[in-house]
Structure 1
């Protein structure tokens, strides 16, 4: 009969590459509490952070409301023809600053353009800038911060000092200088500028999360068992360090939309013929006494959009941080 104290039988052979798989399995067992079945009993299956977060999000009314608002914004950004049939660039000076009328519930602006059509079409530029800038910032900042935190040493010092340099550039002043020399009327110069100045924030968050994750026991066990840096980074460290990056990026998305509107208001962001809430707010600012409807609708749409993304980010943060539950 096998002896329970025999060390050769205490550990089963794992085969080629099995040692690191064993370390990862132990890490998942340590990190994830047992799941619960429909009757509240222990199912024996480990629960991940993401499954717990999704369960919390589904119960959070703030997440549901913000997600529905964002879904609506995305739909009208892709297919604005679903709720408006007027061309936002078709204007009639004879109707300049007129109020609402049948088929035009928001009235007309100074150029005689339909404010309702411009408000709907303006969502496309704002959502495009926000989503693309957030993806760029998260990828660039997450990559730089993750590598700096994982390898440390001179790479950490070099990348951290580079982030400090970009942190020292005022965003509005940088936008006035950088975008004033750009003649393109597309959204990509604005996206590039936001990514250029926005990645240091994500890089710091990613660096701190990676430094914390790589000190965990399961990472040290994988290192001792001979796992390569690439395997440890992709299989053990990155999955456990990505949550703070997602939270900060989600909240920052609303900030980037507001930043685009601010730069367009100042005349250095998006430019005509691009339809943008910032451009419409800038044009309506001088006519607020004569035609307040010109300012009310694009400003209200911008505020609701920014609020929806910030609410979504707060809900995701509460779901991914067990300390806040």
Structure 2
């Protein structure tokens, strides 16, 4: 029988005996998600483009005033419907106002409606869905039937009803009309996630320690759905922007003297045969903003998926 001893073997490929050393830096879930997101060039480009659009919505009106020498509200009948030139970069509208400054002012309204509407919708939907999914049973049946009833009402009917009730159709009434039924999708999504998570060990441990349902929902269940919530928000914001643009386009949204990208498109389409620039620039702004949010959402969905973590 052959005798084996350690003298007959030679260690190769390991000069120093540090096989147990951790060579990869320790990363949290969010650090690893950011690392994977940075590898997605399309998502990073969308993030940069989106940041540039938001920055221009903040400082754009002042840049327009600096270049043209007049405020975006200044009217001059002598220079109506001018094409883009060195003084008015995006031209002027039917009242001789600077289109460049008005475009970014309209962007403030459109993006503000998108962000505020999404935050309201996510807050209501998350809490509602968390309560429904955690308690289950009869509570879940009643709450989900309410969601189904609200979800069956077309939001256009609600918008028209609000337009009739409120003589002054502003941002507040428009947000209320869009959010009154929009949160149902978020509630269903969070309900499904909570129903899966509530059987986890940490939830059972919290229940054994005497934690009340409010603490379990807000401190344990909802925080573990934050990745899904962020992804939902990136897809929901462009939905609100498009809804506002569509309603303003048909005359049920933002009313003069206020403006938005949808309101500018509404007027631009009526004069597209003669002054196409009055439709092109706001339509381009809507398209780029929605495309950036959607591509960023795709990147976040891949980056925040724990199944793809390496």
Counterpart CA distance in 2 for 1:275 and 1:208 is 39
Identify the match of residue 239 of structure 1 among 223, 227, 233. Answer: 223
Identify the match of residue 294 of structure 1 among 260, 273, 278. Answer: 278
Counterpart CA distance in 1 for 2:90 and 2:99 is 5
Structure label with greater radius of gyration:
2
Check if 1:155 corresponds to 2:139: yes
Counterpart CA distance in 2 for 1:231 and 1:287 is 57
1:125 Cα offset (Å): 0.3
Counterpart CA distance in 2 for 1:84 and 1:57 is 34
Cα pair 2:254 2:260 within 8 Å, conserved:
yes
Task: Count the aligned residue pairs.
Answer: 285
Identify the match of residue 176 of structure 2 among 183, 192, 200. Answer: 192
Identify the match of residue 100 of structure 1 among 81, 84, 108. Answer: 84
Residue deviations 1:255-304 (CA, integer Å, cap 9, x gap):
10011011111111111111211111111112111111111011111111
Identify the match of residue 78 of structure 1 among 19, 42, 58. Answer: 58
1:59 Cα offset (Å): 2.3
Match for residue 24 of structure 1? Answer: none
Counterpart CA distance in 1 for 2:78 and 2:125 is 50
Change (3 A) 1:302 1:164: same
Change (3 A) 1:160 1:197: same
Match for residue 233 of structure 2? Answer: 249
Check if 1:211 corresponds to 2:195: yes
Match for residue 47 of structure 2? Answer: 67
Counterpart CA distance in 2 for 1:88 and 1:98 is 14
Match for residue 285 of structure 1? Answer: 269
Match for residue 22 of structure 1? Answer: none
Match for residue 202 of structure 1? Answer: 186
- Calculate the aligned-residue CA RMSD, in Å: 2.1
1:230 Cα offset (Å): 3.3
Match for residue 166 of structure 1? Answer: 150
Cα pair 2:130 2:191 within 8 Å, conserved:
yes
Q: Unaligned stretches of 5+ in structure 1? A: 1-38
1:136 Cα offset (Å): 0.3
Q: Unaligned stretches of 5+ in structure 2? A: 1-20
Residue deviations 1:243-264 (CA, integer Å, cap 9, x gap):
2222112211011001101111
Cα pair 1:76 1:124 within 8 Å, conserved:
no
Cα pair 1:185 1:273 within 8 Å, conserved:
no
Change (3 A) 1:157 1:106: same
Match for residue 321 of structure 1? Answer: 305
4+ runs deviating over 4 angstroms: none
Check if 1:220 corresponds to 2:168: no
